[in-house]
Amino acid sequence: MADRSARPSESFGLDRLGTPIGTALLVTDADGALRALDWEDYEHRMRELLRLQCGPVDLRQRAAPAPMKAALSDYFAGDLAQLSSIPWRVAGTPFQQKVWTALAQIPAGTTLSYGALAARLDMPKAVRAVGHANGSNPISVVLPCHRLIGANGSLVKYGGGLERKRWLLRHEGVEV
């Protein structure tokens, strides 16, 4: 892997959005694409993921695009389809990008096991790698890592905490 620390610092905007499950941090690039969405109480982890995936990052207070904030607010108000209207961009390994793109294809109101996602990617033995990539997902909610569950249907691992995962799934109509 290339030494990302040798690259010049990228400048991203940082905004906040109140939600029913805490304050969301929205990181956007100069084109208005979402680069990270995490929770205020996990800001350190978000910054570290951005550093690992993008190299040095300079976060400056800057309002996220109004349509993005409106779409997220609408999602939290019950219009689940709004997430698909949010432009996003990720940096990561080709495998991570493949997993994150697949996450965006899991419809609201449904869940998938890590193994089922690995099988969808034609990599049925890559369950652990899928789990690791899922855990490195920088764009919570929009790339719905909360929709991945254990093979036995249990709630497992969510970077924002299991209570948020439970809330998100119930919000989308999944009984957990």
Q: What is the pLDDT of residues 90-119, one digit of tens each?
A: 999 999 999 999 999 999 999 999 999 999
- How confident is residue 157, by pLDDT bands cut at 50, 70 and 90? confident
Q: Could you list the residue range(s) of the whole structural domain that residue 139 is in?
A: 94-171
* Domain presence at residue 176: no
Judgement on whether residues 103 and 81 belong to the same structural domain of the protein: no
* Identified catalytic residue from 90, 118, 126, 145: 145
CA dihedral 47, 148, 143, 121 (to 10 degrees): 110
Do the Cβ atoms of 36 and 27 come closer than 8 Å?
Answer: yes
Tens-digit pLDDT profile for residues 16-65: 999 999 999 999 999 999 999 999 999 999 999 999 999 999 999 999 99
Judgement on whether residues 60 and 98 belong to the same structural domain of the protein: no
* Domain presence at residue 103: yes
- How confident is residue 7, by pLDDT bands cut at 50, 70 and 90? low
Q: To 5 degrees, how large is the angle CA 82–CA 134–CA 75?
A: 15
Q: To 5 degrees, how large is the angle CA 133–CA 134–CA 135?
A: 90
Judgement on whether residues 127 and 163 belong to the same structural domain of the protein: yes
Q: Is residue 54 among the annotated active site residues? A: no
Indicate the residue among 30, 58, 85 that finishes a domain.
85
DSSP string, 57-98: EEEEE-PPPHHHHHHHHHHHTT-GGGGGGS-B---S-HHHHH
* Domain presence at residue 119: yes
C-beta neighbour count of 169 within 10 angstroms: 22
Please state whether beta strands 34-39 and 22-28 pair in parallel, antiparallel, or not at all (unpaired): antiparallel
Instruction: Mention every residue, 6+ apart, whose C-beta is less than 8 A from residue 110.
Output: 147, 174
60: which strand partners?
13
Judgement on whether residues 142 and 121 belong to the same structural domain of the protein: yes
Q: Is the pLDDT of residue 146 over 90?
A: yes
Distance CA 55, CA 5 (A): 5
Report how many domains make up the chain: 2
Judgement on whether residues 78 and 8 belong to the same structural domain of the protein: yes
Answer yes or no: pTM beyond 0.85.
Answer: yes
* Domain presence at residue 37: yes
Indicate the residue among 85, 120, 141 that finishes a domain.
85
| CA 62 to the chain's CA centroid | 20
